[in-house]
Structure 1
Amino acid sequence: MRAHERGRTTLNEPTTEPVTDGRRAKGERRRRALIEATVRVIARDGAAGVTHRTVAREAELPTTATTYYFSSIDALLTAALTQCMEEDSARIEALVAAPGGDKRRVLAELMAEILSPPGHLLAEFELYLLAVRRPEQRAATRRWQEALAAFARQFTHEPLRVKLFAQSYDGLLLQGLLADKPPTADEFEELLRELLPDPGGAALTRRA
């Protein structure tokens, strides 16, 4: 390659890559905005209220944006469920990795916090239930269950108790949504201590 051609290539590189990176970043911002708008629409109107038009309006983007990033409503709902599960899982994983302290109390406070207001949690449950009818969406829930199991293993390695906690956690929040008065952090902590007692505490009874 001649010297002037090498120089021209070098000059072109700084002007093309940032443009590409900028477009990619803009695309990611739009995609995330549409997913977050989907969750807000579900919180307000239920999953039945999700259309390309309602999501675009909520995100303050043109309708063509939703059809560009998501080929169908199912794709949009799957993306929303995946993001919710990833965010929730990351929160529990961070709690597991945090040093010291009584993590049952921290988790109890988090549970009370996400119930007030309950809109986002309600949307998550609607998305969660959609996965029951749509097996292709269940992959998004596996990391969540694994995160809950990892939290339980800080207190016990008994498989039955780990499974009990992982399957009870969502039920506690669902009952909190149904309650006239949401449970307090103290009430959640009492339940968590029953599910995950201190070492040497009461063990689950097994049938012979």
Structure 2
Amino acid sequence: MNEPLTDGRRIKGEQRKRELIEATIRVVARDGVAGVSHRTVSKEAGQPATAAAYYFKTIDDLLTAALTSCMDEDAERVRRLADEVEDPDQSLRELAALMCRVVAAPAHLLAEYELYLLAARRPELREPTRRWLAAVERFGRRHTDDPVRLRVLAGTIDGVLMQALLTDTPPGQEDWTEILRTVLVTPTPGPGSGR
């Protein structure tokens, strides 16, 4: 008889945790990692002042949850493209469209990079970033097995996303498609190329 009540509490608790993670991302986007406190995040989430401390014992726990959420969400989207889109050229266009959607949410993207940089300083936070890089590599392997190109792909995506935060005219879908094609697709030799 207590099961529905317990399940309801568990579901409500999970929802509150999710709201706190989303609030953390907003605080990081607005104020940087230094602006994150249990009280600030609770207020941003519209929850009692002690809520964040109840669900996340330390600020590190809160930041780890936010980083994991951001990276895993993006990694899952890229993994789906790698696994579900059969036509290689279509997969490039789909990834380009995804990158445009990422750029269209600059606050979220800014928070991701703040958290990404935090992981660079703190090795214990790096697992979510590894999963992101693995998803990008998985996508790239649909087009090439060249390890250099696969590293260039990850660096290019991260670099272009970072540049998009610094410009008023971020790359559009055609730009992204051409960038990805340049990194991943080996040009076929033309006539007179000696082959």
TM-score normalized with structure 2 length:
0.91
1:133-165 deviation per Cα after TM superposition (whole angstroms, max 9, x unaligned): 111101111111110000000001112211221
**2:137 pairs with 1:145:** no
Counterpart mapping for 1:1-208 below 5 A: 15-101=1-87, 102-197=90-185, 200=188
Per-residue deviation at 1:36?
Answer: 0.4
Which structure has the larger Rg?
1
1:49-84 alpha-carbon deviations (Å, 9 max, x no partner): 111111111110012111111111111111100111
Deviation at 1:191, TM superposition (A): 0.8
CA distance in 2, matches of 1:99, 1:153: 13
Instruction: Give secondary structure in 2 for the equivalent of 1:63.
Output: coil
Letter paired with 1:184: G
**How far apart, CA to CA, are the structure 2 residues paired with 1:133 and 1:167?**
18
Query: Partners of 1:97 and 1:129 in 2: how far apart?
Result: 29
Question: 2-side partners of 1:158 and 1:74: how far apart?
Answer: 37
Cα distance in 1 for residues equivalent to 2:42 and 2:122: 24
Kindly provide the amino acid, as one letter, of the partner of residue 110 in structure 1: L
Shift in Å at residue 198 of structure 1?
5.1
Moved over 3 A (4+): 198-202
8 Å contact kept, 1:41–1:50? yes
- 155-164 or 141-150: which moved more? 155-164
The percentage of aligned residue pairs carrying the same residue is 53
Contact 2:143/2:185 (8 A) holds in 1: yes
Where do 5+ consecutive residues of structure 1 fail to align? 1-14, 203-208
With 19-28 and 74-83 compared, the bigger mean Cα shift is at 19-28
Give the TM-score normalised by the residue count of structure 1: 0.85
What is the deviation of 1:201? 6.8
RMSD: 1.6
Deviation for aligned residue 1:107: 1.1
- Per-residue deviation at 1:199? 7.0
Give me the whole-angstrom Cα distance separating, in 1, the residues matched to 2:54 and 2:3.
23
